[in-house]
Structure 1
Amino acid sequence: MNSPGTQVHHLDGVRILDLFAGPGGLDVAAHFLGFRSIGIEWDRNACETRYAAGLPTIHADVSVMRETRFDEIPKSVDVLAGGPPCQSFSVAGKGVGRKRLDRVEEFIHRLVGGENEARIDEDLHSLGDPRTALVLEPLRWLLKAIETEGRDPYKVIVLEQVPAVLPLWEVYAKLLRGGEGRLNGVKYEADFWELKTERFGVPQTRTRAVLVARRPGLGAVEPLETTHLPFELQRERRNASQAEMFPGSSLPTGRKSRWISMAQALEEASRQKDSRVKASRLRKDGEMKFFVVSNYGSGGDSKKRGRRLWSEPAFTVTGKISRNKVYKSMAEYEAEKPDRFTIPESGVLQTFPHNFPWSGNDQAQQVGNAVPPRLGMHVLSMALHSRPPTDEELTAATTWRTVPGTTTEELRHIGCGDLSQCPPKSHRITRSRRKPAP
């Protein structure tokens, strides 16, 4: 069992609270920027990955923590971050939230206006997908901090979601700038953008809606400066010679580098000491050459599967990445003998370190749900340092630290304790049926 002294040690100096923390995309980014964080995550499998990685975690529901356990959050926390679950707003899902943006905007104004929250919660249920309401949680956490004696408003707020949520981040930004209603005069400098991950060195095409807000006195919120060229999604408009070029031969154009390809990312990761990325099977004639057939439809046709070459960024890494098919030749394709990306390889395409200790079950889902750490480093560095991450910080972010088993157990005790406060049934053990011995 953990001693109180050990718990204080692990939570000492924590500045960032990561809501909906997942396996730790933003926390990994914070670590390499020199900041300590604590995450709240309800999925037990993601928590196991976080414990193995040495990331302080509370295994709980974000709403429950806010309503009944707010005092457990270290008072040193002055940065609120998070990416609420996106399924309700994603184009890959049913899109309940996406279709009801006007109603969600109405709820935001009702919250700040001081209407009874129980009534708001009752009306939220009418939206049909309970995950839609989670996009309001960051605002509720801010209001809780403002209205709780002995707590200060967060100095910085960083939020990310799928592009469909950008109109809601605009509403957030306007309210934060005004400081009216329950904000009680607390104002922020705030801005929001739609960011393409390949433009920040992430070897995949993925678009995110990001909001950054800072208290006055910390300086204006400046737009992020991209570091890489955009990737053209429409194959007929790509530069054919560039698409066929082996990644290592690409040259910077002006001040920006070409986007990072799958092969480049996986090749570099496989060369690291004790790498978990074993990419030799993807090489052909000594070079890494392959193509990927997506699990998702393309161009609005669910039966038409998109393709990407080894020399291009990956498709958006989702929880279904293990269903993408990888082929080294047309012969393999015609014979329907595909390979698959491993979990460490999928993590590298998300810019997690090559040796990140993925743990628990549903690891592909964990990888797909995460914020790409490299994008997180760019966002957090501008929000907290007012500068992009340095080359040294980005280079260091390719390898994860070794975490002793004792640290993992201590963090599991902090996060789960005796399991009584964890989400209901989250630790239920399914016993396999064994055949009697002959």
Structure 2
Amino acid sequence: MTSPATAASPLTTSVHNLGKIRILDLFAGPGGLDVAAHFLGLESIGIEWDANACETRYSAGLDTIHADVRAMRTERFDELPDDINVLAGGPPCQTFSVAGSGAGRRALEKVTNLIDRLVTAKSEEALKRIDEELSSPGDDPRTALVLEPLRWIMAAIESGKPYEAIILEQVPAVLPVWHAYKRILEGGSLPQGIKYQAECDVLNTEEYGVPQTRRRAVLIARLASHGQVALPDKTHMPFIRPKKAAAATLDQAAREQSARSEDPHSKSSGPEVWVTMGKTLRKTSKELQRSEPYVVVSNYGSGGDPKNRGRRNSEQPAFTVTGKISRNIVEAPDGRPLPRFTIPEAGMLQTFPQNFPWSGRDQAQQVGNAVPPRFGVHLLAAALGLGNDRLKEALEKMDQWPEVSEEERERLRKVGCGDKTDCPSKPPHPSVYSLV
């Protein structure tokens, strides 16, 4: 299998003996992490069950297996390429999301307790009991999917080829689970006593040049023999909402940010001001270009009041991009209605290239579910020790996506799904992967 990038050559990195990198992306969606890998010159392959997301991946030329992540692990693990050595993934987050029902948040204590039992289970029967507890009446079955990366880590160790690096991301409520992962990864209780160095925390994507405020719980890990690992360095200021959010200009906001700086003498070498919606969407084609100032009115209420809709202007980062982004009202400062965000624009606010070939149905949901590729570049570079030069080179070429021929798309469809008898035509586990 190939990707839009040419095959990655062996890398010279600060990671001891990592060599050629090939990434397995679980719950790959339309390809945010795979797009990041492409711009870093790395190979990747994604597992995704949703046919619409797979259509986007095929159109973009991304290596894909259209399958259920759990079925691939339990029934088809040996079909994966032998040279995979990095695991990445963002398990479905609906039950952990603030916007969801909260089932995952209520299950956090249960999940973190079951992690210890998962790594010490000595029989299939013990593993089955864990699955039964996670799917007991009243629990959302999607909650169990946050344990899938750990199961894949253990499966790789038992196959004799442990992953050399791991990158996971989810909504902030999952941070306690990542802390439990970190304890397991570093503690020596994995099969064969394998140990990793790991770090986890909640990161703000606008501090990595993404033109939206999006908070994600992140874990990165590296085999202990490869040395220390650290979360990526922040490159931009955090967005702090001005008192008059709809009226503040970028210059006003920058002055406010600078005033809050702990070291006002280091402004020239400190982080940049966050990237704005206006700057991002001015890069679009003439048909889409938004040259005049505008205000975005959120679809969601603020402070628990559904009528109190948040407002951001075009010289500020966007609200978190979700599958409901098309419901956000866009208007001129004088209240005159303007066209709402298109799918390409929503993708650009997620830092996908403006010409990324969104395909299939539910495209707004695909965009909202994706990992912002620019954020993914920072995560991969940190986890793999690629260095600042490699990082900077990748970030500078993210505006355009390479064209993919229809012949290549058809080849990827055939590789990903064969004659379609192996592809799920509906969610493989009822309600497990349903979107909200």
**Fold match (TM-score > 0.5):** yes
Percent of pairs with identical residues = 55
Q: Quote the residue 1:263 is aligned against.
A: 278
1:292-331 equivalences under 5 Å are 292-331=296-335
Cα deviation, 1:318-350, whole Å, max 9, x if unaligned, reads 011111111124342xxxx45210000000000
Counterpart in the other structure of 2:191: 183
Query: Residue 125 of structure 1 aligns with which residue?
Result: 135
Structure 2: how far apart are the matches of 1:255 and 1:243?
16
The residue correspondences of 1:130-149 to structure 2 (distance < 5 A) are 130-148=141-159
| TM, length-normalised to structure 2 | 0.87
Please state if 1:17 is matched with 2:24: yes
Alignment root-mean-square deviation, CA: 2.5
| Matches for 1:215-234 after TM superposition, within 5 Å | 215-233=223-241
Which residue among 189, 201, 220 is the counterpart of 1:193? 201
Distance 1:235 1:58, change over 3 A: farther
> 2:346: which partner in 1?
346
Supply the distance in 2 between the matched residues of 1:371 and 1:168 (Cα, whole angstroms). 19
1:48 matched to 2:48? The reply is: no
Q: Taking structure 1 as reference, are residues 305 and 114 closer, same or farther at Cα in structure 2, changes over 3 Å only?
A: same
How many angstroms apart in 1 are the aligned matches of 2:384 and 2:309?
A: 41
Question: 2:69 aligned with 1:66, yes or no?
Answer: no
SS of match in other structure, 2:279: helix
Deviation at 1:303, TM superposition (A): 1.7
Q: Is the CA contact (8 Å cut-off) linking 2:45 and 2:65 kept in structure 1? A: yes
Judged with a 3 Å threshold, the aligned counterparts in structure 2 of structure 1 residues 88 and 234 are, in CA distance, closer, same or farther, namely farther
CA distance in 1, matches of 2:217, 2:38: 22
Aligned to 2:85: 78
Shift of the alpha carbon at 1:254? 4.0
- Which residue number in structure 2 is paired with residue 206 of structure 1? 214
Name the structure 1 match of 2:37. Answer: 30
CA distance in 2, matches of 1:161, 1:358: 23
Residue 239 of structure 2 aligns with an amino acid whose one-letter code is: F
Q: Is the 8 A contact 1:243 1:309 kept in 2?
A: no
What secondary structure, in the 3-state scheme, does the structure 2 residue paired with 1:211 have? Answer: strand
User: Which 10-residue stretch deviates more, 257-266 or 219-228?
Assistant: 219-228
Q: Aligned equivalents of 1:96 and 1:173: distance in 2?
A: 23
Cα distance in 1 for partners of 2:91, 2:373 equals 16
Per-residue deviation, residues 385-426 of structure 1 (Å, max 9, x unmatched): 343453331111111011111111100001111111111447
SS of the equivalent of 1:368 reads helix
* SS state at 1:227 partner: coil
Q: CA deviation at 1:234?
A: 5.7
Match of 1:397 in 2: 398
CA deviation vs aligned residue, 1:207-254 (integer Å, no higher than 9, x gap):
0011011012322012321000110136359994546689xxx9x754
CA distance in 2, matches of 1:241, 1:396: 28
Identify the residue that residue 433 of structure 2 maps to in structure 1: none
- Name structure 1 gaps, 5 residues minimum: 1-6, 428-438
What's the counterpart of residue 412 of structure 1? 413
Q: Which runs of 5+ in 2 are unaligned?
A: 9-20, 259-266, 429-436
Q: Distance in 1 between matches of 2:48 and 2:249?
A: 45
Is this contact kept in 1: 2:231–2:379, CA < 8 A?
no
Cα distance change, pair 234–96 in 1 and its aligned pair in 2 (3 A): farther
Aligned runs of 1:237-248 on 2, under 5 Å? 240-242=248-250
The letter for the 1-side match of 2:325 is I
Q: 1:106 Cα shift?
A: 1.4
What SS does the aligned partner of 1:167 have? helix
Q: Against the structure 1 CA distance between its residues 418 and 12, is the aligned structure 2 distance closer, same or farther, given a 3 Å change threshold? A: farther
Residues 262 and 310 in structure 1, CA contact (< 8 A), matched pair in contact too: yes
The total of aligned residue pairs comes to 401
Rounded to whole Å, the distance in 2 between the matches of 1:380 and 1:395 is 16
What TM-score, normalized by structure 1, do the two folds share? 0.86
Are the aligned partners of 1:188 and 1:215 in contact in 2 as well (CA < 8 Å)?
Answer: yes
Give the counterpart letter for 2:220 in structure 1.
Answer: V
Give the aligned residue type for 1:259: W
Shift of 1:95: 1.2
User: Per-residue deviation at 1:8?
Assistant: 7.9
Q: 1:256 to 1:278 in 2, by over 3 A?
A: farther
Name the CA distance, whole Å, in 1 between partners of 2:252 and 2:302: 21
SS in 2 for 1:217: helix
Give the direction of change, closer, same or farther, for the CA distance of 1:421–1:235 in structure 2 (3 Å limit): farther
CA distance in 2 between counterparts of 1:111 and 1:386 reads: 32
